[in-house]
Amino acid sequence: MHIAVITIFPEIFKAYLNESIMKKALNKEIVKIDIHNLRDFTSDKHKTVDDYPYGGGPGMVMKPEPLSNAIRHIKSDGIDTLTIMLTPQGRLFTQKVAEELSAEKRRLLLICGRYEGIDERIRETLVDDEISIGDYVLTGGELPALVIIDAVVRLLPGAVGDENSLREESFSWGILDYPHYTRPPEWQGLKVPEVLLSGNHKQIALWRRKEALKRTLKRRPDLIEKARLSEEDYKLISEIKEENDGFHKRN
Ligand code: 4GN
């Protein structure tokens, strides 16, 4: 996969991408990431990337010229490119969108805005898609771009150590993850659930599935409605509901 980024803060990307899974994926050439500094595409001596908004109001707007120069420069190699802008006005980024982007054949070009926004004419003419990582406002598109890069790269074959850890991941089923435990078997009086020490893989899988459903019902019932659930899942949900009813009656 090939990703390009336009930002006025390239160092933010270098810091994060030089650690852990991202660094390994880059070294293994699973992904290639080119970070472009928007200021390199300015033509005045102050390297100006912003200007006052027409119509007045607070803050500054990103000038069209440097952005268009940067986008055209990147695209000048002729590689088919999907240009995405990070903005609270975009479509919501979910695991499904991460999966969709990880299967993308085109190079991804992520545009990180700053200030109050970018000139609307850039969005109209050069941006293919707009993505938001959630309903909140940040000072720039850099963190959203890194969130997207991280979520997409870890889905690429070979990026994460164990291939199965991705396929079994509960979020890819649309529900929350089950609880995890490691040594010691008892810590500060708290025991690891017996079943996890039993070596009974069938029972362990069932327990985990039930705990995942339990958490999802309690914390994110909205996900249950959309999730792809099996016959067995519905049986587990009935069990959970019966256990809860019993609990309320007894207490
Ligand atoms: C994206 C960008 C939040 C998101 C951003 C998000 C920078 N904040 N929710 N801030 O994905 C106007 C132009 C604000 C750039 C943008």
- CA–CA gap between residue 74 and residue 76 (Å, rounded): 6
Query: 188 pLDDT exceeds 90?
Result: yes
Q: What is the pLDDT of residues 145-185, one digit of tens each?
A: 999 999 999 999 999 987 767 767 878 789 999 999 999 99
Residue 167 pLDDT:
62
The answer, yes or no, to whether any atom of ligand 1 lies below 6 A from the CB of 132, is yes
Q: 171 with 228: CB under 8 angstroms? A: no
Q: Measured in angstroms, how far is the CA atom of residue 142 from the centroid of ligand 1?
A: 9
Task: State pLDDT tens for residues 36-61.
Answer: 999 999 999 999 999 999 999 999 99
Q: Give the pLDDT score at 250.
A: 53
pLDDT of residue 249 exceeding 70, the answer is no
Average of per-residue pLDDT values in the chain: 95
Q: Give 134 Cα–ligand 1 centroid separation in angstroms.
A: 9
The ranges of the chain annotated as CATH 3.40.1280.10 are 2-153
Q: What whole-number distance in Å separates Cα of residue 233 and Cα of residue 251? A: 27
Is residue 147 within 6 Å of ligand 1 at its C-beta? no
d(CA 138, ligand 1 centre) in Å:
5
| Of 85, 133, 138, best ligand 1 pocket probe by most atoms within 8 Å of the beta carbon | 138
What is the per-residue DSSP string for 135-153?
A: SS--S-SHHHHHHHHHHHH
Task: Indicate the residue type of 67.
Answer: L
CATH of 186-250, one of 1.10.1270.20, 1.10.3720.10, 3.40.800.10, 3.10.20.600: 1.10.1270.20
Q: What is the pTM of this model?
A: 0.96
| C-alpha 141 to ligand 1 mean position (Å) | 5
Report whether residue 88 contacts ligand 1, using a CB cutoff of 6 Å.
Answer: yes
- Do the Cβ atoms of 2 and 79 come closer than 8 Å? yes
Numbered ranges of CATH 1.10.1270.20 in the chain: 186-250
Question: Which pLDDT score is estimated for 165?
Answer: 75
- Decide whether any atom of ligand 1 lies within 6 Å of the 53 Cβ: no
**Per CATH, domain 2-153 is 3.40.1280.10:** yes
Choose one of 7, 9, 111, 137 to mutate for the ligand 1 pocket test, by most ligand atoms within 8 angstroms of C-beta.
Answer: 137
Distance of alpha carbon 218 from alpha carbon 170, whole angstroms: 16
